[in-house]
Amino acid sequence: MNEDSAALTFHPLPANVPRSDAGAPAVIVMPGGGYTFLAPHEGKPVAQWLNRLGFAAWVLEYPVGPQDFHPAPLDCARAAMRQARSRAAGLGVDPSRIGVLGFSAGGHLAAHLAAGPDTADDERPAFAVLCYPATSWQTFGPAAAGEAGTDPLLGPGSTPEKRRAVSIELIAVPQTPPTFIWHCADDDTVGVDHALSLTRRLADMRVPVELHVFPTGGHGIGLAQGTTPAGAWTASCAQWLQRTISPDSLSRHPGVA
């Protein structure tokens, strides 16, 4: 995939927001939608929230089925990170502090980019935020459930071997950057086990990981404004981001380019 093929919409910091001489930290936002569409409430509003926290942001429009299956979304995410870093200086962004934030299927994509064994150094983000992520393809989609239907990520050729190859809790590597994960225990669309199994894998590899599980909230709630108690995720994530993006914190983890 050509670098220019990554459809990124940039949301710069307001002029009155202070930033360091090295540039602002930034996040590539990956909306969810089950790899069949992109949820609008998990895109632009999230970028605007990040702007208020002092982060520049891009929203990535990655390809989805039924026209595009794996590895098209991952190739697009890889191109997006290369593109963001190559353009960072001209946009007032620090190329060493660009992370990813994804919801649901977008959380799977963000996790695959951050934790995948084949991610190149210039493609791996500095940190990752995963929101109710569908990280295990062994338990997601009609093929995994033994039902009729096309796998939204792998297409009609889905097999157990292919599903294992895109299950992040099985393939994550120690180079995975610091990661924040949140989920709701009553999520009936993407079960909380997705978050638990990936957290366990990262913790076993000594990757810095923080997990928040809220008792209620369901799935697909985005910023969850007005939702109790899951709406607290934004405050917890904001605190984690500020701790994580400090140069000293990032320099302690070998997975950060």
Q: Mean pLDDT, to the nearest integer, of 106-125? A: 97
For the chain, report the end-to-end CA distance as a whole number of angstroms.
22
Q: pLDDT category, 139, cuts 50, 70, 90? A: confident
Asked if pLDDT for residue 141 goes beyond 80, the answer is no
The pLDDT assigned to 202 comes to: 98
Distance set, CA 198 to CA 36, 82, 132 (Å): 23, 25, 12
Domain spans, the chain: 3-251
% the chain with pLDDT above 90: 79
Question: Domain 3-251: which topology?
Answer: Rossmann fold (3.40.50)
Asked if pLDDT for residue 47 goes beyond 70, the answer is yes
The pLDDT assigned to 5 comes to: 54
The pLDDT assigned to 256 comes to: 47
**In the block, which residue shows the tokens 């983000």?**
125
For residue range 90-115, list pLDDT tens digits in order. 999 999 999 999 999 999 999 999 99
